[in-house]
Amino acid sequence: MRIVGLRKRYREVVAVDGIDLEVAVGELVSLLGPNGAGKSTLMDLIAGVLRADAGEVEVMGHAVARQPMAARAALGVVPQDIALYPDLNARENLLFWGRMYGLRGERLERRTGELLDLVGLAGRQRDRVGTYSGGMKRRLNIAAALLHRPAVLMLDEPTVGIDPQSRRAILDYVQELNATGTTVLYTTHYMEEAAELSDRIAILDRGRVIALGTHRELTAIVGEHDRVTLELGDDAADADAAFVDLPGVHHVSAHDGRLELLASHGARLLPALFARAAERGIAVRSATLRQPDLESVFLHLTGRALRDDRA
């Protein structure tokens, strides 16, 4: 898959701001970015459901703008919003989507059976999808995207808001599919998933790829800085100001009742952090010290946390 100079704006918001990205055949690339980074817009542009303002996308050598049918045939899309009929059962949903892809008869029946097995829903295939849990719906949505055996599979945050077993199962199918030759573009805002799955990770922020590489290459950007997380509860909101000037602290960001700090020699910094917290009357519930990870990379590059909802 090849993306060159891709742009899309919605009135005043530039959702995709000049993206270049190549994904090799058989590669698994994650798009990691916070809310509003442009992940879903990028996927819609690749899928050809949105028209780009500029730039080009090729899927398996087919230009999405000029050869939409061929590009679409090569692509399986698992959208962020579930696209299933709640009044039909799992089998009927797959038969419906299969016919949309031009599959018929015995071939469609066989493929439907295979995919129900793959996503562990064979036993529930006669139940209305409206009665399924979120995780079951997600798994069925993945099966629907695989009916036509696409060479490239794109998934948009497929594990958000579902139970841990379904999440694990989804990560496993994605890895299996990739191991058997499917090229995968996997969108997420969970750095653990990107770290586990990917050959390479593209970090997306405000419509741009701000970093691209293997997990090792990306964490090397941060260098020797550790990440320190302080759980503060209700005190977190304005507490970042209390720590920014400590020697060795490079970034501080507050969100969800916690502070994330990037610091050289995090272990040496801890006593100073606790002393400062005590001085300012800030109660620390817990402190965690970590080696550089993708969250640190994002913090380092943007000064914000990946899950910072205020950004």
Ligand X SMILES: Nc1ncnc2c1ncn2[C@@H]1O[C@H](COP(=O)(O)OP(=O)(O)OP(=O)(O)O)[C@@H](O)[C@H]1O
CA dihedral 24→39→254→293, nearest 10 degrees, is -10
Kindly list the residues in this chain that would bind ligand X in the complex (CB under 6 A).
10, 13, 15, 33, 35-41, 80, 189
Question: Smallest distance from the beta carbon of 157 to Mg ion, in angstroms?
Answer: 6
Closer to Mg ion by Cβ: residue 39 or 255: 39
The vertex-283 CA angle with 282 and 289, nearest 5°, equals 100
Question: Smallest distance from the beta carbon of 188 to ligand X, in angstroms?
Answer: 9
Give residues with Cβ within 8 angstroms of 93, minimum separation 6. 84, 85, 129, 140, 144
Binding mask of the shown chain, residues 257 to 276, with x at each position contacting Mg ion by CB under 5 A: --------------------
Question: Which of Mg ion, ligand X, none has residue 38 at its interface (CB below 5 to 8 Å by kind)?
Answer: ligand X
Question: Which of ligand X, Mg ion, none has residue 111 at its interface (CB below 5 to 8 Å by kind)?
Answer: none
Distance CA 121, CA 43 (A): 27
Closer to Mg ion by Cβ: residue 35 or 288: 35
Q: How many residues bind Mg ion (CB under 5 A)?
A: 3
Q: Is 261 helix (H, G, I), strand (E, B) or coil?
A: strand
Q: Which of residues 79-98 bind Mg ion (CB under 5 A)?
A: 80
Distances (CA, A) of 181 to 26, 28, 173, 236: 5, 10, 12, 46
The residue nearest Mg ion at its CB is: 40
Closer to ligand X by Cβ: residue 81 or 238: 81
Q: Does 159 bind Mg ion (CB under 5 A)?
A: no
Q: Phi/psi at 274 (nearest 5 deg)?
A: -65, -40
Question: Smallest distance from the beta carbon of 201 to ligand X, in angstroms?
Answer: 15
| Tokens read off for 51 | 């028209």
The vertex-219 CA angle with 195 and 290, nearest 5°, equals 85
Question: Smallest distance from the beta carbon of 10 to ligand X, in angstroms?
Answer: 3
Q: Does 40 bind Mg ion (CB under 5 A)?
A: yes
Closer to ligand X by Cβ: residue 80 or 175: 80
Q: Phi/psi at 13 (nearest 5 deg)?
A: -95, 120
| β-pair partners for 125 | none
Question: Smallest distance from the beta carbon of 237 to ligand X, in angstroms?
Answer: 22
Question: Smallest distance from the beta carbon of 249 to ligand X, in angstroms?
Answer: 28
Distances (CA, A) of 72 to 16, 67, 111, 153, 199: 21, 9, 19, 11, 24
Binding site for Mg ion (CB under 5 A): 39-40, 80
